[in-house]
Structure 1
């Protein structure tokens, strides 16, 4: 899982991050498919993705009523809304004996041929909860599966923060053309690019570390690499050089 997360942090295309991670999460937790819900979602709105491709294809075939039922997140939406912790939990734990006969369980059996669901929310997410739902057929998830899911949560958060920053970066530089080529020409990795974006927003190393979920020492290492690759010596010069190269928006705060 760690190797996949590291690979995801070196991916320049933000839409590829979660499909890469979802398959690894399924393997780690003993699942067969994963649905990820990354933005605020309700019964009628919000983006959902799935892995593997077969699961994604089955979701695309669902009608409006079935999609609404799936988006409702039974029984996890109710479970997490009533508490502050974001520990992984199974549908059986959250709903008890009502889970097997629920409309959601029947839908999942018909659409994905699965019996059990494991909720893996992103720590810190609020209502509506964002995160992943891992599915499997046969026996329910074990305590070991839940333990592995809990261990994976910090990696999921790191990748999601990276995705959000890459999306922000692309939106900010969209009119100037694809920014990936400019970052590649400067030899900046995707991780260094997101650190550069936060530098341009005048965040301290401590703030950048909290934002990305990394240590201050790691932030300083990324900053040193950015200085070296851009041929600069300080924050102001780096931001000005990055603006000249089209790597950060010209209106970024300094």
Structure 2
């Protein structure tokens, strides 16, 4: 029962995140909920591709960022190297969550990464939660805690949360590309709000503009075809249109989506 309640909490946060208009807030929302349901104290999430020299390290809570800010470049590189998860997931398709201790055993406690985390964050266990289906470099979250290793139940919860993380990350990518394509002067968020379009409906509208079928939109967003059709019906009603072509043309006139020939490309 406790697992079900924890998953319901994660699901509620994911649903709330899909109504968030600011894409930069999506990962912090999910990361905080993931830490809560998995018994973690801090989370690092990948906001872009990492190498040992580059990559933005997103953290929850904010205090964790302050502690990591004092690390040397070598220390940050050690974190980005992703030991032992980079090696654990490399070359295969298994993306099941795993703790560092379960991945490499006692070698984890004696590793430079474990010592660094102990000094910087005061934690000694870490759980890798990659996005399902992600290819190298692997993207996702690292959940940290002090004390005992993560339990079987907590790993199961992390596994159930993976599709939610993936769905919201796809939403983030679409909204960020939408903003980049239209440009800040276009005020796309305000225009969508004026038409009462939710962020999720905006994502579906963007994919309609790319001429994707309902099946393809569902696969892209991780939702059912029935849900796609429901979103499309809402979009038609809010824009006062009756079909896909008319909807795309009206959305272009309203400045909700890029027009043909505009600099940039549609989110794909």
TM-score (norm 1): 0.97
Q: How far did residue 175 of structure 1 move?
A: 5.5
Q: Secondary structure at the match of 2:165?
A: helix
Q: How far did residue 246 of structure 1 move?
A: 0.3
**Does residue 206 of structure 1 match 2:215?**
yes
Counterpart CA distance in 2 for 1:212 and 1:94 is 31
Flag the 1:175–1:17 CA change in 2: closer, same or farther, 3 A. Answer: closer
Q: Secondary structure at the match of 1:140?
A: coil
Residue pair 2:97, 2:130 contacting (<8 A) in 1 also: yes
| Number of equivalences | 253
Q: Secondary structure at the match of 2:118?
A: helix
Q: How far did residue 178 of structure 1 move?
A: 2.1
Q: After TM superposition, where is structure 1 displaced by more than 6 Å over at least 4 residues in a row? A: none
State which drifts further: 174-183 or 114-123. 174-183
Counterpart CA distance in 1 for 2:50 and 2:230 is 37
**Does residue 80 of structure 1 match 2:89?**
yes
Counterpart CA distance in 1 for 2:185 and 2:81 is 39
Q: How far did residue 109 of structure 1 move?
A: 0.4
Counterpart CA distance in 2 for 1:190 and 1:59 is 32
Q: How does 1:127-206 map to 2 (within 5 A)?
A: 127-174=136-183, 176-206=185-215
Q: Which runs of 5 or more residues in structure 1 are unaligned?
A: none
**Does residue 223 of structure 1 match 2:232?**
yes
TM-score (norm 2): 0.92
State which drifts further: 236-245 or 173-182. 173-182
